[in-house]
Chains A and B, each alone.
Chain A
Amino acid sequence: MQYLSLVNLHVGDRCKVARIQAGSSATRRLYEMGFNTGAQIQVLKNDRGPIIVGLGGHKIALGRGLAAKMLVGMDQ
């Protein structure tokens, strides 16, 4: 399966978290906030500034640097 970086997705895209390649403490934090392997997310905003994603019905803003390190698999 082809993985994409979260920053490359568009508003409305749905995807699953595949791997996070940030530092170990940031990765853990993301995991604990629900961005664990296989978590379903949807891109809600991606223009300037942090990316906003929907996760379990809630909105979380992620800095672009961090979003770049989150690899996701697109839903078909």
Chain B
Amino acid sequence: MPITIALMGNPNSGKTTLFNALTGANQHVGNWPGVTVERKEGQTRHGNQVYTVVDLPGTYSLGAFSEDEVVAREFILTGNPDVVINVVDATNIERNLYLTTQLLEMGAKVVVALNMVDEAEARQISVDEKALSRRLGIPVIPTVASKRKGIDELMEAATATIRAPLNGHVRLSYGESIDGKIAELEDLLKNGDLAYPPGWLALKLLEGDEYLRKVVDVSLKLQGSDEFTRFWDEMAVQAEDFQLEIVDSRYKFVGDVTKDVVRRPEVAVQTTTDKVDRVLTHKYWGMPIFAVIMFIVFQLTFAIGQDLLGRWMATGVEYAGGLLESLLVTVNAPQWLIDFAENGVVGGVGAVIEFVPLIVILYMLMGFLEDSGYMARAAYVMDNTMRAVGLQGKTFISMIVGFGCNVPGVMATRTLESKKDRMIAILINPFMSCGAKIPIYLVFIAAFFPSYGGLVLFSVYALGILVAFLMGKIFSKTLFKGETSHFIMELPPYRKPTLGNVLRNMWDNVSGFLTRAGTTIFAVVSLLWVLAVLPVGVEPYGAESILGRIGLLIAPIFEPAGFGNWQAAVGLFSGIAAKEAVVAILGMVYAGVEEGMELVMAIREVFTPLTAISFMVMTLLYTPCAATLGTIKKETGSAKWALFSATYTFAIAWVLAVLVFQVGRLLGFS
């Protein structure tokens, strides 16, 4: 039997760092069944024993406030972990022990990893861990996860705890009247035959836990229990007071436990964080500074990821393509296979691979900002502006991630607690111009605006944000009415990011991208290639091919926008499959090459500066790629919203592209 350790802790307690320190490269990421919460699992070794470590979502509590909390507590109760390692931030011990208290209530075997003791020391906060351990009745091991200190001792304590019988469990008192109600309810639940301990269940029900209430309602209804209904009818008015009293009782317990055990200096030590925050969250400077930081992130991304590494990558891909081709020639492969390898595989997948360095750099920089603690400030700084358009600060973080790729952008909306905020954030994310669209703009810039590249690119991004804000406002007034949710956000202290965390975060994202390049995008370009060479005998990528005919069929739609030719239509069509395919396809249909100067020349002949702009507007705003639509379906839990996203973005893109072209023409541009 493998031994399972569950990791549990508040957000920012260093849980991820500890997980990485324990498991190293032995990790894999999946999803908890039925929900969109990420499930991370890994292996660690101590002595001769291998342990499975399950990283539960970081939460403040174990109620039913969010999916995260439900997932965590279901695992602890029904996933049968052998021990729970509870990461507790030593600099913020009272709040962290609130969660510990709830773990004890559940009757779990708990070991506390008292993390960040280095930081606590720097702030002159002293914790007597021996006394703390005695009062809680569980081991408390000091650790510094970022320096891998205390890990062995922690595993030693965990192993001992697994072997030992459960050390009688702590039963808190919540005051006479609540304790009485719990006992009463417990009696009613005892014959219920539910998977949870009845005492705990009674407590949770009194806390107004909707999730468990449903579970209980369903199973008790079957047995026709009127007493249960009566119990709640009698409770009615008191219910809400009880909920808060229970929280207060836990804090009181924590207060008793930490009394004389935790010592703080009379006057809190003025930290670097305070000084830095005075600048970064300044009422006037906060926003411009944020804008500059983002500007630098994108500059670096392009300078390093695109211009430097991207070029090497392109050369590498070309070289590999050449090798593949000569290999196929030497083995006498049929001509169609050589064509397919050259145009389909190297042209399509290769064009995608060239973006890998760009994405690597972008995610490393974002991970750096995240790990340093700045992202929370960004949300803080943007809250006012976002509120003006009916959204809230945290939404902006998902929008920034969308600049890299809309797939993680949409996933990043998970941190939004209200359904309304989250739905809007998901629906506007595709307007954030993703990295895959950049090459498209670059071709058009090279063809028509070579000396205004930066300005054009900036305007494109700005237009995307503007449309996103506008749609956010409209959605919050129509489809998703209701109050914008409250902003509650912890601003963690600034910390030097750990290289391991930054690399890990990058790899989690990049590996997803690579998988996509190897599967979806490969399938898409293969399909497009087939469409381009059939029926047999036509000129590949010509107007007679199936692809060309599809183009001819849909081209008239784009007539009012000024680019009603079949080639442009084919490009946009393939972009719905994957935005990376657009340039490759445009190249093939216009010039018979994937990219480069010939394509630019060809574009210059077919487009005008005005139609180039309207085409870029269309590209920026229209239907997101299949992968993004798939993610939207998954995250909203319904194909309806994916379909809605696909169509409304198209409509908006079309209207704006037509507007640009028609107004431009009236004004005498061409």
- A-to-B contact residues, CB < 8 Å: 22, 24-34, 36-37, 39, 44-45, 47-50, 52, 54-63, 65-66
Contact = CB atoms under 8 A, between A and B. Distances in A.
Given A33-B488, A58-B92, A61-B383, 9 more contacts: A24-B243, A33-B60, A34-B95, A49-B383, A57-B123, A57-B264, A58-B95, A60-B489, A61-B380
5 smallest beta-carbon distances between A and B, as pairs: A63-B487, A59-B491, A66-B486, A31-B247, A32-B61
A17 to B, nearest CB: 11
B381 interface: yes
Task: Give the secondary structure class of A's interface.
Answer: mixed
Given A33-B60, A50-B380, A63-B383, A28 B65 contact: yes
A57 B283 contact: no
Given A47-B283, A49-B380, A63-B392, A28 B63 contact: yes
A5 to B, nearest CB: 15
Given A34-B94, A56-B92, A61-B380, A25 B490 contact: no
B486 A36 contact: no
A4 B492 CA distance: 27
Contact of A36 (B92, B248, B281, B488): B248
B272 to A, nearest CB: 13
B486 A26 contact: yes
Range of interface residues on B (Cβ < 8 Å): 35 or more
Interface string B483-524: 000111111110000000000000000000000000000000
A50 to B, nearest CB: 5
Nearest to A34: B95
B244 A31 contact: yes
Contacts of A28: 63, 65, 208, 243-244, 247
A37 B244 CA distance: 9
Contacts of B115: none
Nearest to A37: B248
Interface in B59-80: 60-61, 63, 65
A25 B98 contact: no
Contacts, number: 110
B91 A58 contact: yes
The listed residue with most A CB atoms (<10 A of its CB), out of B123, B251, B392, is B251
Contacts of B383: 49-50, 61, 63
A27 to B, nearest CB: 7
Given A32-B61, A49-B381, A57-B92, A66 B487 contact: yes
Nearest to A30: B488
Interface string B455-482: 0000000000000000000000000000
B125 interface: yes
Nearest to A54: B268
Nearest to B490: A60
A5 B380 CA distance: 21
25 contacts: A22-B486, A24-B208, A25-B65, A27-B244, A28-B208, A28-B243, A28-B247, A29-B488, A32-B63, A32-B65, A34-B95, A44-B274, A49-B283, A49-B286, A57-B91, A57-B125, A58-B91, A58-B493, A59-B273, A59-B277, A60-B491, A61-B491, A62-B486, A66-B486, A66-B488
Contacts of B326: none
Contacts of A65: 486
A50 B91 contact: no
B65 A29 contact: yes
A72 to B, nearest CB: 16
B240 interface: yes
Interface string B244-268: 1001100100000000000010001
B251 A61 contact: no
Given A28-B247, A29-B65, A32-B61, A52 B268 contact: no
Interface string B21-65: 000000000000000000000000000000000000000110101
A34 B98 contact: yes
B487 A62 contact: yes
B247 A33 contact: no
Contacts of A39: 251
Contact of A63 (B281, B376, B381, B488): B488
B315 interface: no
A56 to B, nearest CB: 5
Contact of B488 (A24, A44, A54, A61): A61
Contacts of A26: 486, 488
Contacts of B251: 34, 36, 39
A21 B493 CA distance: 29
Contacts of A63: 383, 387, 392, 486-488
Nearest to A27: B244
B415 interface: no
Contacts of B273: 59
A28 B248 CA distance: 11
Interface string B126-165: 0000000000000000000000000000000000000000
B229 interface: no
A36 B251 CA distance: 8
A22 B488 CA distance: 13
A60 B93 CA distance: 15
A56 B488 contact: no
Contact of A45 (B61, B247, B281, B487): B281
Nearest to B91: A57
B116 to A, nearest CB: 11
B647 interface: no
Nearest to B243: A28
Contact of A61 (B60, B63, B283, B487): B487
B340 to A, nearest CB: 55
Nearest to A31: B247
A50 B385 CA distance: 11
B488 A60 contact: yes
B576 to A, nearest CB: 38
Interface in B208-229: 208
Contacts of B123: 57
Contacts of B380: 49-50, 52, 61
B489 A61 contact: yes
Contacts of B240: 24
Nearest to B240: A24
